[in-house]
């Protein structure tokens, strides 16, 4: 796909890619060619509009969470960085950093032990500031619990529609249908099963 030659000139003028001499010549053309001038003005207006509405910098949604997630991922990679470049251990020679590192280590080892067997919650973020998330590992339940407090109650009169879904591919597409606002998938059924904490309750 080639750019028509007459437009190449206009393009280079618009994008400030001309030498001073070329620019001068083109400016002279603009004074005597009304159609070319109209096109040049239109393209300049387009540029102004684009720059006004497509900012070079934007506020990152949930910026703190953005950073904290990166930190979580970096923490997993730090051991792999040992031996490359200057040693990060050098920073531990600074007493404050060493103390901070010890605290972090303590937190990792004591407060959030990773048994390698149990599930763990590494980081949470709630977009609604009214909602608070807390997490703990329940030994009795053998499960990790993430509690959300401050959520708006589901209206009592609202019926909840449950599905029984098994086949993965089928489900993926049934989810689309739902998301697109269509009727629940044909495979979904309104069945419920009951679990009771009976004698086996711990």
Partner 1 sequence: MPVSSAPEPGEVPDHDLVRRSQAGDSRAFDLLVTRYRGRIYAMTYHMIQNETEAWDLAQEAFIKAWRALPRFKMDSAFYTWLYRIAHNVTYDWLRKKRIQGEGEFDDERTEHRVAAGAETAPRGADAPDEALRNAELGGRIRAAMGQLSEDHRQVIVMREIEGLSYEEIAAAVPCSLGTVMSRLFYARKKLQELLKDTYENAA
Partner 2 sequence: MKRLTALCCLACAALMLPAAEAPRRPPDPATEGKVWGALVHALPVAPPGSSPADSPHVPNLAARLAAAFPESGHFEILGEHLQDVFREYESWVVPSKDLFLKVDSKGPAPGGGVNLHLQFWRDQQVLVKTDAVLRPGSPLFIGGPRWREGRLIFVLALQP
Residue with tokens 């796909």: 1
Question: Does 195 contact partner 2 by CB under 8 A?
Answer: yes
68: which 2 tokens?
A: 């904290």
Question: Does 42 contact partner 1 by CB under 8 A?
Answer: yes
With CB under 8 A as the contact rule, which of the stretches 3-11, 43-51, 102-110, 137-145 interacts with partner 2? 137-145
Q: Return the HEC string of 36-62.
A: HHHHHHHHHHHHHHHHHHCCCCCCCCC
31 binds, among partner 1, partner 2, none (CB under 5 to 8 A by kind): none
| 3-state SS assignment for residue 145 | strand
- Residue 122 and residue 68 in contact, taking contact as beta carbons nearer than 8 Å: no
Question: Does 125 contact partner 1 by CB under 8 A?
Answer: no
Nearer to partner 1, 63 or 199 (CB): 63
* Contact residues for 152 (Cβ-Cβ < 8 A; gap 6+): none
One of 141, 180, 182, 186 touching partner 2 (CB under 8 A): 141
Shortest Å, Cβ 104 to partner 2: 17
């Amino acid at each position: 796909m080639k750019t028509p030659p007459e437009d190449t000139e206009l393009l280079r003028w618009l994008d400030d890619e001309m030498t001073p001499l070329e620019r001068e010549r083109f400016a002279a053309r603009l004074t005597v060619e009304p159609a070319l001038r109209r096109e040049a003005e239109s393209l300049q207006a387009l540029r102004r509009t684009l720059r006004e509405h497509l900012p070079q910098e934007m506020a990152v949604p949930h910026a703190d969470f953005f950073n904290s997630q990166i930190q979580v991922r970096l923490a997993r990679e730090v051991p792999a960085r040992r031996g490359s470049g200057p040693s990060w251990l050098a920073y531990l020679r600074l007493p404050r950093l060493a103390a901070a590192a010890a605290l972090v280590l303590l937190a990792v080892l004591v407060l959030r032990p990773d048994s390698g067997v149990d599930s763990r919650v590494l980081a949470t973020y709630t977009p609604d500031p009214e909602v608070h998330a807390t997490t703990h590992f329940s030994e009795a339940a053998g499960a990790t619990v993430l509690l959300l407090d401050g959520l708006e109650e589901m209206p009592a009169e609202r019926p909840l529609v449950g599905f029984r879904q098994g086949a993965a591919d089928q489900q993926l597409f049934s989810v689309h249908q739902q998301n697109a606002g269509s009727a629940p998938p044909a495979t979904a059924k309104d069945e419920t099963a009951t679990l009771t904490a009976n004698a086996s309750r711990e």
